[in-house]
């Protein structure tokens, strides 16, 4: 995997200054840091002013670029598809490279076939794609009822859901007086949302990615999704513990571009298809 961003000097100045002022640094210190970075690609060690410039720069790179890499990893881990086509993406051919490096969790679930599909969410194919009231209850019930063998017996089961399903579950609990006690416990922060004691984890960025990159002709590709699995069954592996957050950053005086680049190896695996059930 190669994540490589280049930015012109003018844009960099604006972003760096806005970031620094927002976290409380002085404008003069930030400006001097930018000047020192642009004058030399190897700032003199031991010089107090230069060290300060490096510290500002390193903190900026850590905050801005590593967050972006983390989001990239997250996107690949969930929605990566080595055979994805431009027709499936809002951005067309330009976006294919953002998804085709590895097969993510959902692609591996789809590849496993109907045996891993415990529930079909009709709203995914409806005209407005809106979940009907209490649909989340039907989804969770189907997932847990279909669990058998090692998945049924696992003590670390979790349900990963889109925000749409999580919100539907909130609405159901609010409107159902039979779960009032459960609702009060969860609202008070004493108990996280659960179904039959299985934690429900909202994957909030999944909805954002689907709406942004998988919306064609006004329809989102399967906007409502849920996975019943175990905490140890879905894995993202890297060539070393820190590889994904090791960043090279440099300024090119000839082109006046600033570069930030990270290179690492990664893969995503559903370790056992027997420990995975889906609703979509």
CA 158 distance to own-chain centroid: 17
Q: Specify whether 6 is located in the same domain as 46.
A: yes
Say what the pLDDT of residue 152 is. Answer: 96
Q: Is residue 164 left, alpha or beta, with left meaning phi > 0 and alpha meaning psi from -120 to 50?
A: alpha
Asked whether residue 90 is assigned to any structural domain, the reply reads: no
Chain position carrying tokens 């415990």:
118
Asked whether residue 91 is assigned to any structural domain, the reply reads: no
Asked whether residue 84 is assigned to any structural domain, the reply reads: no
Given a contact cutoff of 8 angstroms between Cβ atoms, the answer to whether 192 and 238 are in contact is no
Specify the pairing of strand 194-195 against strand 226-230: unpaired
Say what the pLDDT of residue 49 is. Answer: 63
Q: Specify whether 157 is located in the same domain as 275.
A: yes
Q: Specify whether 203 is located in the same domain as 246.
A: no
Domain that holds residue 204: 113-234+271-279
Q: Specify whether 245 is located in the same domain as 221.
A: no
Q: Specify whether 131 is located in the same domain as 222.
A: yes
Q: Specify whether 143 is located in the same domain as 203.
A: yes
The pLDDT tens digits along the chain (280 residues) read 888 888 887 888 888 899 999 989 998 888 888 888 777 655 555 566 677 788 888 888 878 888 888 888 889 999 999 999 999 999 999 999 999 999 999 999 999 888 899 999 999 999 999 999 999 999 999 999 999 999 999 999 999 999 999 999 988 887 876 666 666 655 665 557 889 999 999 998 899 999 999 999 999 999 999 999 999 999 999 988 677 778 888 888 888 888 888 889 999 999 999 999 999 9
Q: Specify whether 228 is located in the same domain as 190.
A: yes
How many domains is the chain built from? 2
Asked whether residue 11 is assigned to any structural domain, the reply reads: yes
Outline where the chain has alpha helix (H).
Answer: 9-22, 27-39, 48-79, 93-96, 105-112, 135-146, 149-153, 163-175, 180-187, 204-213
If DSSP codes are grouped into helix, strand and coil, which group holds residue 251? strand
Say what the pLDDT of residue 175 is. Answer: 80
Given a contact cutoff of 8 angstroms between Cβ atoms, the answer to whether 38 and 253 are in contact is yes
DSSP labels, 103-161: --HHHHHHHH-GGGEEE--GGGGSSS-PPPTTHHHHHHHHHHHH--HHHHH-SSEEEEE
CA dist., res. 272 & res. 115, Å (int): 13
Task: Tell me which residue of 82, 113, 107 sits closest to 234, measured CA to CA.
Answer: 107
Q: Specify whether 66 is located in the same domain as 40.
A: yes
Q: Specify whether 171 is located in the same domain as 243.
A: no
Say what the pLDDT of residue 5 is. Answer: 84
Asked whether residue 179 is assigned to any structural domain, the reply reads: yes
Say what the pLDDT of residue 271 is. Answer: 94
Name the β-bridge partners of 260: 5, 249
Which burial class, exposed, middle or buried, applies to 277 when counting CB atoms under 10 A from its CB (0-12, 13-18, 19+)? Answer: buried
CA 113 to each of CA 107, 108, 116, 162, 230: distance values in angstroms, whole numbers, following the listed order = 10, 9, 6, 21, 19
Q: Specify whether 128 is located in the same domain as 216.
A: yes
Asked whether residue 99 is assigned to any structural domain, the reply reads: no
Q: Specify whether 131 is located in the same domain as 211.
A: yes
Dihedral (CA of 140, 145, 149, 152) sign: positive
Q: Specify whether 228 is located in the same domain as 144.
A: yes
CA 153 distance to own-chain centroid: 29
């Amino acid at each position: 995997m190669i994540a490589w961003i280049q930015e012109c000097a003018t844009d960099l100045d604006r972003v760096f200054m806005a970031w620094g002022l927002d976290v409380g640094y002085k404008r003069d210190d930030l400006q001097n840091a930018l000047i020192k970075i642009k004058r030399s690609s190897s700032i003199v060690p031991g010089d107090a002013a230069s060290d300060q410039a490096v510290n500002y720069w390193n903190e900026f790179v850590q905050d801005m670029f590593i967050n972006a890499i983390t989001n990239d990893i997250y996107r690949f881990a969930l929605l990566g598809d080595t055979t994805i086509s431009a027709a499936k993406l809002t951005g067309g051919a330009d976006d294919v490279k953002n998804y085709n490096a590895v097969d993510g969790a959902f692609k591996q679930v789809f590849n496993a076939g109907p045996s891993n599909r415990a529930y079909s969410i009709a709203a995914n194919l409806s005209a407005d794609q809106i979940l009907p009231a209490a649909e989340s209850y039907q989804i969770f019930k189907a997932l847990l009822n279909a669990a058998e063998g090692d998945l049924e017996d696992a003590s670390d089961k979790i349900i990963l859901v889109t925000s749409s399903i999580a919100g539907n579950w909130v609405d159901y609990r609010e409107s159902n007086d039979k779960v009032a006690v459960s609702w009060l416990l969860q609202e008070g922060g004493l108990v996280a949302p659960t179904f039959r004691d299985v934690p429900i984890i909202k994957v909030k960025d999944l909805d954002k990615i689907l709406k942004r990159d998988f919306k064609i002709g006004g329809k989102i590709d399967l906007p409502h999704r849920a996975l019943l699995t175990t905490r140890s069954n879905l894995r993202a592996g890297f060539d070393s513990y820190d590889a994904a957050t090791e960043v090279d950053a440099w300024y090119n005086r000839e082109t006046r571009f600033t570069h930030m680049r990270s290179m690492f190896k990664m893969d995503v695996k559903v370790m056992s298809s027997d420990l995975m059930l889906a609703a979509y």
